[in-house]
A and B are shown apart, each in its own frame.
Chain A
Amino acid sequence: MAGSGTAHLRQPSESLLRVENLVVDFPAGRGKKVSAVSNVSFDIAPGETLGLVGESGCGKSTTGKAIMQLPRPTRGEVSLDGTDLCSLRGEQLRNTRPKLQMIFQDPISSLNPRRTVMQIVEEPLNIWKIGTPEERRLKVSEVLSSVGIDPEAAAERKPHEFSGGQCQRISIARAVITEPSVIICDEPVSALDVSVQAQILNLLEDMKARYGLTLVFIAHDLAVVKNISDRVAVMYLGKMCEIGSPDSLYAAPAHPYTRALLAAIPLPDPNASLDTEHHLEGDLPSPISPPSGCRFRTRCPLAQEICARVEPQMQHVTGDQFVACHFPLQAVSETPVAVQA
């Protein structure tokens, strides 16, 4: 549970974005530190969507920001198309920005309230001096209409005149206008109603197909993540628990934490019995002094003595499903457990 290891990584040549042994620490005063992300590794193939799920405080947003180098990770490697972003400085790093964009949770506060939609969506093109002013305007209209906003009516209006769902569409337009290869979506639908959420999820799928995007989709709602992802990574307190394709991971979770997350989802069916047996008790432990060994052991129903001593490593379950747990719920293949570093 909450373990390390890189057994689940594919060949570097197959991946567009590769994160290896990512560590993000924040100083917590008096010499202490918060280890927000600790030894997380994953890779994403071109055109793939990786869903990152976990509770608040599990480090999923910090991972997303560390990929953007905002702030820079404490240790580890983030390579985009073979370039290690962590080793880049200044202008070199800035030049990778158009390739790597972000969409935020709160659509209203992520748009400048004093600018018009035209200015907001056009700005990346101005910064990168792409095209003539005329071409820029055409491009903005094209992108706005592709996200379902009427460019004629919207261009001169300001964000407050739009609903949350529409603001999220504008954020998406701003993110795709530089034709990025990867977009990091940090809880893009958490602040939206179910009906609007469905619109935005469908739109993201459309934009992915249209602009050939690769997405990192961060969310705490497992049903949403399943819908949009090709691969799902479950995080807990800065560690990776389990990774796999959504259909196999949801059908047969190998990690007790994944099972607990699945049990907590309220089903829109009054006859579905509530799986209260697997509901988690208590809160996330403090990331300032995380539990030894497996970080999930304090809330895990299966924890034993070994969990406090040895941190589990990623093990192969089946297909592309990998789990970091000493007592996985599914049989793991025979590969020996890597030695604790």
Chain B
Amino acid sequence: MSIGNQIDGLPTPSGTPGAPKLLEVRDIVTRFTTDRGSLTAVNGVSLSLERGQTLGVVGESGSGKSVLSRSIMGLLPRANTERSGQVIFEGKEISGLNDTEYRELWGDEMAMIFQDPMTALNPVMKVGLQITESLRFHLNMSKADAKDTAIALLKAVKIPEPEKRFSSYPHEMSGGMRQRVVIAVALACGPKLLFADEPTTALDVTVQAQILDLLAEQQRERFMGIILVTHDLGVVAGRADEIAVMYAGQVVEQAPTALLFSEMKMPYTEALMSAIPKLTDASHTRLAAIGGRPPDLVNPPKGCAFSPRCPYVQPRCHEEAPALTPSPTAPEHLFACFYPIGSPETEEIRLRIAAQRLMATAPQFVTPAQGPPPIGEVPAPPSTADQPEGM
């Protein structure tokens, strides 16, 4: 490849000592022009990734996680989009490439698996052709070679009867099968970097486990870097080496997976965690929902973007925005919070919340703030409904 400007000295083959990182993203900002004004979808994100590693990007809808992966890959439309920051792929700056140069990169060097396997494939094209397309274009394979490779790929992603499936149309396959085909298309030219944008959100839990197992297996075999974008902390917990939590277009906490889960610092990460219904809790355990909604990115709030929803909020949070800084105890653990979990201020509030919750546990009835009591009688819930915790 001869595109892009060289930045960090001579590009050496990846894997050798002193080689540049597979991906380095510095201070990326993506803005969209909307009718209501400029919307900052990604606001100053820096990340890096080595080959063979998985980075999990987690956040709610609208946190900018998908726009981030598209910004890195250069998949965003040019119109109404303003992008700045550096994307350095194997030591080369790629953010300024034009479409022809990107074409060389997409599929060959980096590829993406999309969320919805129903719409990611061309419905009027046989799946085999969708895989051989990039093989023929990037690797200049002959038709016969491309077909053999495609069948091998279909076998690698565990599609039964790959020879027969080569000439199937997408509608003849189930959702899980189609997602396997999408993965085969993405893997076809042996990319070094794979973006998986909510690859299992549209799938059942059993198929989700299969697809995640498959991605892990292919990653080991091909030594790829994977950026796994998801809203489910459960998906990344067992799969990612490092996790970046995004909120309102910014990374608010980033740490190696084990450290993030054992020493959560950012109240938002904690809130995301506690909102997940847990199998170990008795049924009817009240979930700790995060009140409110993510902020409007056209008019973001002053101070910390999470402050309007944060249970531990202090006056300073409404005034100043905290920067992403390393933890004093572990430099690889970054977070953006003035009063992280574990600090005296949050602990005091946490105790108060716990006490309030204890007081309010017994009845689950809510008293409506306004309006008359409900019409008609309210039968008492069955005895199983109000089991206390610890069942």
Contacts and interface: CB of A to CB of B under 8 A. Distances in A.
Interface in B50-74: 60-61
A269 B258 CA distance: 8
Given A46-B379, A212-B379, A223-B277, A195 B290 contact: yes
Interface of B: 60-61, 160, 174-177, 204-210, 212-213, 231-235, 237-238, 257-258, 261, 271-273, 275-279, 281-291, 293, 364-366, 368-372, 374-382, 384-385, 387, 391
B205 A221 contact: yes
Nearest to B204: A55
Interface residues of A, number: 66
A262 B271 CA distance: 24
Interface string A48-76: 10000001110000000000000000000
A163 interface: yes
Contacts of B387: 247
A56 B377 contact: no
Interface of A: 45-48, 55-57, 141-142, 145-146, 163-165, 179, 193-199, 201-202, 205-206, 208-212, 220-224, 226-230, 245-247, 250, 260-272, 274, 276, 279-284
Given A195-B290, A266-B237, A279-B210, 15 more contacts: A47-B382, A145-B370, A179-B375, A194-B231, A198-B287, A198-B290, A201-B289, A209-B378, A212-B379, A264-B209, A265-B234, A266-B212, A267-B238, A283-B176, A284-B174
Contact of B234 (A193, A266, A283, A284): A266
Contacts of A269: 237-238, 261
A163 B231 CA distance: 16
A227 B285 contact: yes
24 contacts: A47-B382, A56-B175, A141-B371, A145-B371, A179-B375, A193-B231, A194-B60, A195-B271, A195-B275, A195-B289, A198-B289, A199-B291, A209-B378, A209-B381, A220-B204, A221-B205, A227-B284, A227-B287, A247-B282, A260-B206, A268-B234, A268-B237, A269-B238, A271-B258
Contacts of B379: 46-47, 212
Which of A45, A260, A265 has its CB near the most chain B CB atoms (within 10 A)? A265
Contacts, number: 192
Contact of B283 (A145, A164, A247, A272): A247
B205 A202 contact: no
A179 B371 contact: no
B237 A201 contact: no
Which of A57, A193, A196, A230 has its CB near the most chain B CB atoms (within 10 A)? A193
A261 B279 CA distance: 12
B207 A55 contact: yes
B371 A142 contact: yes
Contact of A270 (B176, B204, B237, B285): B237
